[in-house]
Amino acid sequence: MASGEWRVGGMGGVAETDGVAVIGLGAIGSGVAGALVAAGHETAVYDVSSQAVRAFADRAKAAGSVEEAAAGARVLVLAVVDDAQVTAVLDAALPALPRGAVVLVLSTISVATLTACAERADAVGVHVVDCGVTGGPQAAADGRLVAMLGGDADAVDTVVPVVEAFAGTVVRMGGRGAGMRAKLVRNQMQYGIWAVAAEAERLAVAAGVDVEALKTVVRAGDVLTGGPTTLMGVDLPPETRRGTAALAHKDLRAALDLAEAVGADVPLTAAIEPTYDSVLALEPAGPAEPAPVAAPAPAAETVRERGLRRMSEVYNLPMDLSGATSPYVDVTIEHLFGDIWSRPVLDTRERRLLTIGVIAALGKDDLMELQLSSALARGELTPEQLRESIVHLAHYAGWPLTANLGGIVERLIRKHEAATDQAAEDA
């Protein structure tokens, strides 16, 4: 590109070169520098790694210092790692930059650091434009980054041709700091999504869901629903918000139940569900009432209480053994059901199937009827699955021990179907 006189924001200056300097040749910076060279920009590069600089020896001006790279540059691109590095590089570069030059900050840093750097640059007639980028190293090398620009309009105008060399999408976010604020929000959103996705993967693995197949479903669904940005900036009617919130609570609670059943740790889901109304920005139905005095937190469930609860679930019967105590009863309630049946790795259905197998081997038809009846009533086994279970058990436990089970199963199925039909008539 031809060198010459140029002006930014009404502040004139004569540059020794019309080129661009890139400081920082890491994952993003090296791609940005390569894209600038490919686009025909006269480019100087510098990095603390001499090896990274040598990689550009035949394509760009390989500088030996920040000052050498910045000398006379029209645009200085900072692609270093953090606040401290941006501050140090800027302090070294400012004396070498011509008046009117623009420092383009690609590094993700705090808005406070950006503001302080911009104020120091203002004092010597240098402009700072924040340029949050997203897309990754390959997108940088291919010129496909997404860039978020913030700064004075004239300074932004100056750097747009430079940014377009490495970004496929260039968005003017507003004045100084707007690009950096947008990048920080974007990163907050991305890291949050990754955290939820990691939690979802743990639940999927624990629940036996194929993760690769699930990824296919999510990607295809996001195209149709809008993905993570679906609700951003959308003003839904109150009734739609309330209906969506109700569905969200229902589905999240079901997911929490699944997580408990398969032993998956889902703290984010547990934290999100109780406050999900805020996601939909629901308005209170009427004037706000004074906040009620918080009720004391319920006491933690004791081992005995948990054991009685699990006994009720396993046998599908109310269990009131609070007054009964003996060594055998206590061990049954507190150890067998409070500890063993409550362990998270196997769910109730899986433990019931193991128990059914043992009972069949012992020939305990009365205990078997109770287990099969509960499994049928709780929806853990269908009538056809019950019938198939007896076929399987007969081959392992033997015909003499399982001879009566076929009749027990058919009687339980008839009773279950009659109760189901009656419930349908009453509905």
- Report, as residue numbers or ranges, the catalytic residues: 183
Q: How far is CA 211 from CA 201, 214, 254, 258, in A?
A: 7, 5, 19, 16
Question: How many whole angstroms separate alpha carbon 85 and alpha carbon 162?
Answer: 22
385 in Cβ contact with 356 (< 8 Å)? no
Structure tokens at 299: 């006491």
Of 240, 319, 310, 309, whose CA–CA distance to 280 is shortest?
240
Other Cβ atoms less than 10 A from the Cβ of 337: the count is 24
The answer to whether 316 and 375 have CB atoms below 8 angstroms apart is: no
Contact 118, 176 (CB under 8 A): yes
411-419, long-range: CB < 8 A, 24+ apart: 412/369, 412/372, 412/373, 412/376, 412/386, 413/376, 413/383, 413/386, 413/387, 416/376, 416/377, 416/383, 417/383
Query: What does each C-alpha distance from 162 to 6, 20, 32, 88, 267 come to in angstroms?
Result: 15, 8, 10, 23, 44
**Residues with Cβ < 8 Å from 39, sequence gap 6 or more?**
143, 165, 166
Nearest to 7 by CA among 121, 125, 114, 91: 125
Helices 383-397 and 405-426 cross at an angle (nearest 10°) of: 170
